[in-house]
């Protein structure tokens, strides 16, 4: 639980990148570290990207390739100018003495950076993910120490990331731990089924409230009212006509794309086919 400070929102691609860097770590390395990129607002810090930074550490000292970190950040800025340095991550369960030294460097690169720890070794039986912010402690004129205060962590995702997360979830129930991508039509059918289930849940809740089985919740009622207001008013016949028109357009685009693909494949085969010339003799009488 957080004592104070913003909420840290983490995207799945960040966790996947951290896990991949841990699996690819150098031989003998106990952990990996890296830079966190994202955006900051008044109430939250959203971590949308990251990259690992080479480092070496022993019991007495730690060495971080600062030049590599700066070059990587400059390259990331060309692709995503809106993403800024918001902190750093380290694999492991605890905060070490070297973490304080590394955090001092990132304090020069970002204002009040966050420190993210990811237990990739599953020391507690699961991948614990914790976020911290540093605060100085001590008395005036004396040695000043650093205290790491925990922050609340939430997991968020874009719609495109949701597809990958759902695919990874389905691999848990397969014996081979692998799962292929589904077709577009199957995804549409699955999405429609989920929407139908959610509508059934909403209708069941409304019926229970009207019958007095469940106490009405004003916040839920406001969400449902907003949901109803966002649905455009359209008759069933007009909706069916619009849907059929969109389906026909989609089928036409699919047909044209398949036809173009077949034409390209046929053209390549004709180009690769050797040309044989037949001699024709013309006799003049």
Task: For residue range 85-112, list pLDDT tens digits in order.
Answer: 999 999 988 788 888 888 888 888 888 8
Q: What is the pTM of this model?
A: 0.65
Is there a single domain that holds both residue 131 and residue 250? no
Closest CA to 57 of 93, 15, 116, 101: 101
Is there a single domain that holds both residue 47 and residue 138? yes
Quick check: is 277 in a domain?
no
Lowest mean pLDDT among 78-82, 154-158, 174-178: 174-178
Is there a single domain that holds both residue 210 and residue 97? no
Q: Under a CB-based contact definition with an 8 Å cutoff, are residues 73 and 53 in contact?
A: no
Q: Under a CB-based contact definition with an 8 Å cutoff, are residues 116 and 89 in contact?
A: yes
CATH number of 85's domain = 3.40.140.10
Is there a single domain that holds both residue 219 and residue 241? no
How high is the pLDDT of residue 2?
46
Quick check: is 139 in a domain?
yes
How high is the pLDDT of residue 191?
81
Any idea which residue has 């909706």 for tokens?
239
Looking at the predicted structure, is the pLDDT value of residue 72 above 70?
A: yes
How high is the pLDDT of residue 143?
59
Is there a single domain that holds both residue 151 and residue 53? yes
Q: Under a CB-based contact definition with an 8 Å cutoff, are residues 115 and 103 in contact?
A: yes
How high is the pLDDT of residue 277?
43
Q: What is the domain extent for residue 241?
A: 234-272
Is there a single domain that holds both residue 85 and residue 223? no
Question: Residue 146 corresponds to which tokens in the numbers above?
Answer: 């650093």
Q: Under a CB-based contact definition with an 8 Å cutoff, are residues 136 and 145 in contact?
A: yes
Q: In angstroms, rounded to a whole number, what is the distance separating the alpha carbons of residues 262 and 251?
A: 16
Question: Residue 115 corresponds to which tokens in the numbers above?
Answer: 């420190």
Is there a single domain that holds both residue 21 and residue 83? yes
Helix (H) or strand (E) holding 150: strand 145-151
Quick check: is 69 in a domain?
yes
Is there a single domain that holds both residue 133 and residue 217? no
Provide the CB-side half-sphere exposure for 130 (13 A, CA).
17
Is there a single domain that holds both residue 134 and residue 28? yes
102 CB neighbour count, 10 Å cutoff: 19
Q: In angstroms, rounded to a whole number, what is the distance separating the alpha carbons of residues 19 and 7?
A: 22
């Amino acid at each position: 639980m957080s004592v104070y400070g913003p909420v840290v929102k983490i995207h799945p691609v960040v966790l996947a990148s951290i896990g991949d860097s841990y699996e690819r770590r150098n031989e003998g390395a106990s952990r990996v570290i890296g830079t966190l990129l994202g955006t900051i607002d008044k109430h939250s810090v959203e971590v949308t990207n990251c990259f690992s930074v080479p480092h070496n550490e022993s019991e007495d000292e730690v060495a971080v390739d600062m030049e590599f970190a700066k070059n990587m950040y400059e390259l990331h800025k060309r692709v995503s100018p809106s993403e800024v340095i918001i902190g750093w991550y380290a694999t492991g369960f605890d905060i070490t003495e070297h973490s304080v030294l590394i955090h001092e460097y990132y304090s020069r690169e970002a204002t009040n950076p966050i420190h993210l720890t990811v237990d990739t070794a599953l020391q507690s039986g699961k991948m614990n993910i914790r976020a911290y912010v540093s605060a100085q402690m001590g008395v005036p004129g004396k040695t000043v120490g650093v205290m790491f205060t925990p922050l609340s962590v939430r997991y968020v995702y874009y719609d495109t990331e949701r597809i990958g997360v759902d695919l990874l979830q389905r691999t848990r129930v397969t014996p081979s731990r692998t799962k292929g991508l589904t077709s577009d039509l199957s995804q549409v059918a699955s999405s429609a089924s989920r929407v139908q289930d959610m509508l059934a849940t909403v209708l069941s809740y409304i019926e229970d409230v009207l019958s007095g089985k469940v106490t009405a919740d004003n916040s839920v009622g406001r969400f449902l009212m907003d949901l109803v207001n966002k649905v455009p008013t359209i008759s069933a016949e007009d909706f069916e006509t619009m849907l059929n028109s969109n389906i026909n357009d989609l089928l036409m685009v699919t047909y044209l794309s398949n036809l173009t693909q077949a034409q390209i494949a046929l053209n390549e085969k004709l180009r690769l086919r050797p040309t044989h010339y037949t001699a024709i003799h013309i006799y003049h009488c």
